[in-house]
């Protein structure tokens, strides 16, 4: 088996390692708060970082009212996320800026794959009874398989939160392991739904078990929980990713999702990645934003960078 | 710009993020780059015209020329502050509160100007001046606007001290100004402040701000200058109190310089604070805690966690994480908003850091620094980590005051505590463990005024800050900090370092102590003139006094009672082997007491240390012993009253009153033993900050000459009630009350060593105690000459002193007991415990 550097084969479940995890919430929050005061990205550097952020977006639509039409519009935006004249003005026309992936429900995987054909943009499918993840296991497995067949290159699964809340790490491990097997060649992104895990210690432990079970990415949220991606949660997950890499050699990706709507926020997340995990986590193979509204704010900021004038939504093509 | 976007898109590098310095430089230019002193609400050049420059340490470029304060300037500033004092201290609490509130608001309005000035002048990253120094300075004024408003209600009977001289360091220029000025003004004092010569600008800006805020002229005066100016201020007779933050070395000089002057003193000095990591800590958070501890303000922080003590089993993983983190720290222009560390204050400090690092390496410690280089221009030094450090290494003992961390390992919690306390300092400590049982067991055992549990370098105006041991005394912030600027006329209450030699007796119920011509060692002789040997004491002489029974040839002689020293719970003969006579008021020989000497003091101090378990006993348990002492004293009340009568010549009723008062006093302190509660301070974290009243340790007390029983009890009882162990020097003229008293102690289950009694030449023995480096506090209730000697002698280990010359009516509970005594018998430890899961 050749090792894909962007895949994590997982390791046997190590309950002692899980039990050894300690997370101090106040200290984590202090680091998350002070981090943003310690780093600042301005002017041309900010424009470059925002362009990089675009390439890390999982451009997402997960509405009950999705139709083939709006999914196709999303895919078109994914190919051309920024006005060509702006890219030209920023000297970025040759960089081939496009989003990291398009993320849809299984029902629109085929539609999206078709719309993105030839672009190189992968389709990600939310799966396994998203967002609660409580449909029968066999159905969840079949859903993954069906999405892969339909053309999804990435599968975003949700875990059974009860396994975390009751400390059934073996059950969680087995669940994620089964998801991974069902994915085949598709990359597995495991949503921990951190807003429903109660404590940062649970977030850290769930991160470890998911990575041991073979998650290629760990992801904060479905976007449907009351609390979505927060920097303290992201910091804890990033630290587990770092430790897992140090101890196993496998580099797992990270995806914050939900509530990331502003360009400033995405700079914060990129800074967090750079500081805690390094430059290896500043590209789409190891870092994604799950977001739908973020892109339009980035577009406005890029126009400001290009022209010096504050911009407006209507000046940028909508999804 | 275009090519750089594409390039940065590839590298994802940080770019420069500079804060503009234009408005700050404009402000300096508006003063033509020259500043005078701020006296009586106006700028004044030095009388002798001398000036000096202040420079930006990141560039070496001079920022401004400021006045060098000389004697005439200090005189003028102090005189101005005196002139302003009556009106200012006469303001209503509410009016003073409005002034402090206005200062807080004004600081906020000019927050960015102050932050940029601070970073320009000091070299600290703008992030810190903007996010920590300036907001905390404003917070101090807000908090103390509250204390001004509440002074009358919360500190009834207290009065301001007068003109306060304040000397602050260069590491947190405006914040230290706020820590000093806000409580001083809130209490109703007027101020003469001298900022550090390296960093006068933010203080000068504050002076201008104070005018804009409407502070009456003369209430706040500012003198710029170097140590010479500071020395003039310290020695100025018009100053009622000196508050100093700076090095322990200078603090010691100030202690000596102010000895006997009547000036109150608080000192916030150096540190070598431990940062203790237990195996169950969140190690990733520990790493960030270390960053906050030692790479905050380039490590130029008195409470920097500069000694990393890590459990041996996790040392390697933690150090690996730490080194990785050090690689991502960024050092550069202080005005760059994307750096972690700025510039070292000045070339001289940079040289000191380099020299100590070289010495550390030469002594065998292993130095590690990140692979990246600091800017070659300007005063920069990289974050540095020493491993393979032994406690014997110079770098493990000496305060480096730079970004240099030394790491050592421990095996057990007990060893961690031992290593942590293995320093003359005692400012702060940090404890990391996810077990609160462990952390809260360790925190009280650490000799430090501030303990941060799972955090580091948190500060707030509501929590007192200040040291144990040679890190100084007094607290800044919180209720405990207000006592440092207040005087209670009914007592000499206040913070440690107190003196009040000018105090007059309120009402002398006891007659003035008759001078006893036969007592060989005159207690009024300055102590440094007295050697603690019996050589100059006439112990036995021809034609000397004889006992009363000798006059009656038919009387059966009483069985001789030999008064010995009481050390470690045992009656012991003095090392000298000499005894001294004790005469009654009528000149007959009442008995003899052992002639204690310095070796007896040494032994008594060792016994007091051996009894340190007393401090760990519960307040209830200590109360039981004190009640028992009272009970046993009551059963022998008549005997003690008769002895007092015989010694002092007062009538029997006076003796009975003194015994009864002594019994009541023991009851008072038994009552207080479990009631001098600490506090939970309202600091802005999710968590608690516990202000614990801890015993100081081993205390020496020199009892007053008058009220030989009650005076001793009035000092020993509060000290013991709070958990201290005591070496007591009883009344020299009337020592038999004390030697009789130890037999009461023996009958009362008092653990040996908790109270030791050494008779002999009091002043000379007091000097030995005050000089003893393992005595933590000393109370002198004696003559004025003794005050100077004791305070000067205390400088060796900066022990807390409480010196009160003059008479006091010990029968009056308002003068002779109370919270003031308890505050002097304790020191406040603030333990920060953030929580959350």
Residues of chain B contacting residue A85, judged by C-beta atoms under 8 Å apart: none
pLDDT score of B479 more than 60? yes
Question: β-strand B51-55 against B62-67: which pairing, if any?
Answer: antiparallel
Q: Is B127 on the interface with A (CB under 8 A)?
A: yes
A6 falls within a domain: no
Average pLDDT estimate for A69-76: 97
pLDDT (mean) for B690-705: 97
Mean pLDDT of the region A86-102: 97
Cβ neighbours for A308, distance < 8 A, ≥ 6 positions apart? none
A111 within a domain of the structure (yes/no) = yes
Mean pLDDT confidence for B115-137: 98
Does residue A9 fall inside a structural domain? no
* Number of other CB atoms surrounding residue A64 within 10 Å: 5
Q: What is the pLDDT of residue B648?
A: 94
Give me the helix-helix angle, A200-212 and A231-248, nearest 10°.
40
Evaluate whether residue A200 is within a structural domain: yes
The predicted pLDDT at position B631 comes to: 98
- Give the model's confidence band at B545: pLDDT under 50 very low, under 70 low, under 90 confident, else very high: confident
Q: Is residue A1 part of a domain?
A: no
**Mean pLDDT across B319-334:** 98
ipTM of the complex: 0.96
Instruction: Kindly report the nearest CA distance between residue A244 and chain B, in angstroms.
Output: 13
Residues of A whose CB is below 8 A from B340: 38
Q: How far apart are CA B286 and CA A24, in angstroms?
A: 9
Which neighbouring-strand residues pair with B802? B498, B779
| A152 Cα to chain B: minimum distance (Å) | 28
Phi, psi of B210 (to 5 degrees): -65, -35
User: Over the stretch B586-626, which tens digit does the pLDDT of each residue have?
Assistant: 888 999 999 999 999 999 999 999 999 999 999 999 999 99
Q: Mean pLDDT score of chain B, rounded to an integer?
A: 93
What is the arrangement of strands in the sheet containing B51-55, beginning at the earlier edge strand?
A: B34-35, B62-67, B51-55
Contacting residues of A for B127, CB less than 8 Å apart = 37-38
Cβ within 8 Å, pair B12-A274: yes
Where does the pLDDT of residue B498 fall: very low under 50, low under 70, confident under 90, or very high at 90 and above?
A: low
Q: Which of B1, B338, B687 sits opposite A26 (nearest CB)?
A: B687
**ω before B79 within 30° of 0 (cis)?**
no
Query: CA B17, CA B14: separation in Å to the nearest integer?
Result: 9
Instruction: Provide the 3-class DSSP secondary structure of residue B380.
Output: coil
The residues of A annotated with a catalytic role in the active site are 156, 219, 255
**Shortest CA distance to B117 belongs to which of B183, B24, B53, B40?**
B24
Question: Rounded to an integer, what distance in angstroms lies between the CA atom of residue B165 and that of residue B690?
Answer: 30
- Torsion, CA B747, CA B752, CA B755, CA B759, rounded to 10: 90
Average pLDDT over every residue of A192-215: 98
Going by pLDDT thresholds of 50, 70 and 90, the confidence category of residue B562 is: confident
Check whether B229 has a pLDDT greater than 90: yes
Predicted local confidence at residue B586, as pLDDT: 87
In a domain, A178, yes or no: yes
Which of chain A's residues have a Cβ under 8 Å away from the Cβ of B328?
A: 275
Q: Is B316 in CB contact (< 8 Å) with chain A? A: no
CATH of residue A264:
3.20.20.70
Give the structural domain span for A19.
15-315
* Residue to test with chain B: of A22, A271, A279, most B Cβ within 10 A: A22
* C-alpha torsion B461→B462→B468→B472, nearest 10: 30
> Does the structure show a pLDDT above 90 at A61?
yes
- Is residue A21 in some structural domain? yes
Number of domains forming the structure of chain A: 1
Task: Indicate the DSSP class of residue A303.
Answer: H
Domain assignment of residue A260, yes or no: yes
Least confident of A211-215, A290-294, B455-459: A290-294
The C-alpha atoms of residue B722 and residue B224 are separated, in whole angstroms, by 42
Strand partners, B292: none
* Rounded Cα distance, B760 and B433, in Å: 50
Residue B92 pLDDT exceeds 90 = yes
Measured CA to CA in angstroms, residue B645 lies from B545, B552, B709 at distances of: 18, 21, 12
Catalytic residue among B118, B197, B205, B302: B302
Name the DSSP class of A1: -
pLDDT in tens, A262-284: 999 999 999 999 999 999 999 99
pTM of the model: 0.94
């Amino acid at each position: 088996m050749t090792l894909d550097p962007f895949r994590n084969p997982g390791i046997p479940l190590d309950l002692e390692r899980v039990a050894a995890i300690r997370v101090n919430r106040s200290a984590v929050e202090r680091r998350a708060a002070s981090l943003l005061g310690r780093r600042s990205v301005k002017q041309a550097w900010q424009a470059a970082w925002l362009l990089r952020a675009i390439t890390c977006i999982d451009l997402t639509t997960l509405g009950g009212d999705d139709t083939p039409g709006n999914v196709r519009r999303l895919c078109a935006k994914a190919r051309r996320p920024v006005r060509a004249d702006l890219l030209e003005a920023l000297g970025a026309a040759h960089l081939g800026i496009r989003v990291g992936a398009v993320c849809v429900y299984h029902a629109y995987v085929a539609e999206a794959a078709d719309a993105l054909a030839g672009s190189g943009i992968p389709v990600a499918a939310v799966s396994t009874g998203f967002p609660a993840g409580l449909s029968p296991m066999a159905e969840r497995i079949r859903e993954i398989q069906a999405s892969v067949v339909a053309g999804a290159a990435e599968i975003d699964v949700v875990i059974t939160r009860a396994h975390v809340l009751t400390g059934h790490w073996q059950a969680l491990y087995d669940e994620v392991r089964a998801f991974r097997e069902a994915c085949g060649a598709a990359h597995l992104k495991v949503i921990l739904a951190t807003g429903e895990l109660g404590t940062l210690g649970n977030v850290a432990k769930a991160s470890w078990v998911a990575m041991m079970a073979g998650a290629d990415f760990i992801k904060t949220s479905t976007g449907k929980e009351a609390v979505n991606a927060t920097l303290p949660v992201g910091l804890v997950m990033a630290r587990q990713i770092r430790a897992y890499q140090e101890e196993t050699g496998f580099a797992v990706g990270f995806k914050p999702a939900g509530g990331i709507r502003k360009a400033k926020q995405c700079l914060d997340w990129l800074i967090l990645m750079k500081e805690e995990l390094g430059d290896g986590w500043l590209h789409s193979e190891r870092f994604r934003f799950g977001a739908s509204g973020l892109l339009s704010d980035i577009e406005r900021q890029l126009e400001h960078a290009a022209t010096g004038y504050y911009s407006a939504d209507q000046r940028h093509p909508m999804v | 710009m275009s090519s750089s976007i594409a390039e940065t898109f590839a590298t994802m590098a940080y770019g420069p993020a500079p804060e503009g310095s234009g408005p700050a430089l404009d402000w300096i230019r508006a003063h033509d780059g020259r500043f005078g002193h701020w006296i009586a609400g106006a700028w004044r050049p030095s009388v002798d015209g001398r000036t000096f420059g202040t420079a930006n340490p990141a560039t070496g470029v001079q920022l401004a020329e400021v006045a060098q304060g000389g004697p005439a300037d200090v005189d003028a500033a102090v005189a101005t502050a005196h002139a302003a004092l009556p009106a200012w201290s006469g303001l209503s609490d509410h009016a003073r509160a409005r002034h402090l509130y206005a200062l807080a608001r004004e600081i906020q309005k000019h927050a960015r100007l102050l932050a940029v000035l601070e970073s320009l002048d000091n070299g600290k990253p703008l992030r810190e001046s903007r996010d920590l120094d300036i907001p905390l300075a404003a917070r101090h004024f807000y908090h103390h606007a509250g204390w001004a408003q509440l002074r009358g209600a919360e500190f009834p009977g207290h009065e301001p001290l007068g003109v306060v001289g304040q000397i602050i360091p260069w590491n947190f220029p405006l914040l230290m100004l706020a820590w000093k000025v806000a409580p001083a003004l809130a209490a109703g004092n007027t101020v003469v402040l001298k900022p550090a010569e390296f960093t006068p600008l933010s203080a000068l800006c504050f002076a201008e701000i104070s005018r804009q805020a409407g502070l009456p002229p003369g209430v706040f005066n500012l003198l710029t200058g170097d140590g010479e100016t500071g020395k003039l201020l310290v020695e100025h007779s018009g100053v009622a109190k000196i508050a100093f933050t700076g090095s322990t070395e200078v603090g010691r000089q100030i202690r000596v310089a102010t000895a006997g002057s009547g000036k109150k003193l608080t000192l916030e000095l150096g540190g070598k604070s431990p940062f203790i990591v237990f195996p169950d800590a969140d190690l990733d958070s520990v790493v960030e805690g270390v960053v906050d501890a030692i790479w905050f303000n380039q490590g130029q922080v008195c409470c920097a966690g500069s000694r990393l003590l890590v459990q041996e089993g996790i040392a390697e993983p933690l150090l690996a994480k730490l080194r990785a983190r050090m690689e991502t720290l960024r050092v550069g222009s202080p005005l760059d908003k994307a750096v972690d560390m700025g510039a070292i204050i000045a070339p001289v400090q940079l040289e000191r850091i380099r020299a100590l690092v070289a010495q550390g390496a030469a002594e065998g410690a292993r130095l590690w620094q990140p692979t990246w280089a600091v800017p070659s221009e300007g005063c920069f030094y990289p974050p540095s980590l020493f491993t393979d450090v032994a406690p014997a290494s110079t770098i493990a003992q000496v305060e480096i005051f730079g970004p240099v961390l030394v790491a050592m390992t421990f095996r057990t919690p007990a060893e961690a505590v031992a290593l942590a306390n293995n320093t003359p300092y005692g400012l702060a400590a940090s404890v990391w463990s996810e077990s609160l049982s462990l952390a809260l067991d360790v925190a009280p055992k650490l000799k430090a005024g501030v303990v941060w549990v799972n955090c580091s370098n948190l500060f707030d105006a509501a929590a007192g800050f200040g040291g144990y041991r040679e890190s100084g005394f007094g607290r800044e912030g919180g209720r405990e900090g207000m006592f440092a600027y207040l005087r209670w006329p009914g007592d000499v209450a206040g913070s440690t370092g107190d003196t009040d030699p000018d105090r007059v007796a309120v009402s002398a119920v006891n007659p003035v102590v008759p001078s006893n011509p036969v007592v060989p060692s005159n207690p009024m002789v300055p102590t440094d003139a007295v050697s603690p040997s019996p050589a100059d004491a006439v112990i036995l002489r021809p034609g000397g006094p004889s006992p009363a029974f000798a006059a009656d040839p038919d009387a059966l002689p009483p069985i001789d009672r030999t008064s010995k020293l009481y050390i470690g719970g045992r009656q012991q003969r003095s090392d000298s082997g000499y005894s001294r006579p004790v005469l009654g008021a009528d000149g007959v020989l009442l008995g003899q007491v052992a002639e204690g000497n310095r070796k007896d003091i040494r032994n008594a101090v060792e016994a007091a240390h051996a009894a340190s378990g007393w401090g760990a006993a519960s307040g209830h348990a200590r109360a039981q012993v004190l009640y028992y002492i009272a009970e046993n004293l009551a059963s022998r009340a008549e005997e003690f009253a008769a002895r007092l009568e015989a010694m002092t010549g007062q009538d029997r009723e006076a003796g009975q009153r003194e015994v009864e008062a002594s019994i009541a006093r023991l009851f008072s302190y038994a009552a207080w033993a479990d009631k001098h509660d600490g506090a939970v301070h309202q600091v802005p974290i999710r968590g608690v900050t516990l202000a614990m009243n801890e015993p100081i340790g081993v205390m020496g007390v020199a009892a007053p000459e008058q009220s030989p029983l009650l005076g001793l009890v009035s000092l020993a009882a509060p000290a013991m009630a709070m958990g201290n162990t005591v070496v007591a020097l009883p009344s020299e003229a009337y020592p038999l009350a004390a030697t009789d008293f130890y037999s009461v102690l023996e009958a009362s289950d008092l653990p040996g060593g908790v109270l030791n009694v050494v008779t002999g030449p009091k002043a000379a023995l007091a000097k030995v105690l005050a000089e003893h480096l393992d005595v933590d506090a000393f109370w002198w209730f004696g003559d004025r000459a003794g005050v100077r000697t004791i305070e000067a002698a205390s400088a060796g280990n900066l022990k807390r002193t409480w010196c009160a010359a003059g008479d006091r009516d010990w029968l009056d509970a308002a003068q002779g007991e109370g919270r003031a005594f308890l505050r002097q018998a304790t020191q406040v430890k603030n333990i920060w415990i953030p929580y959350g899961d």
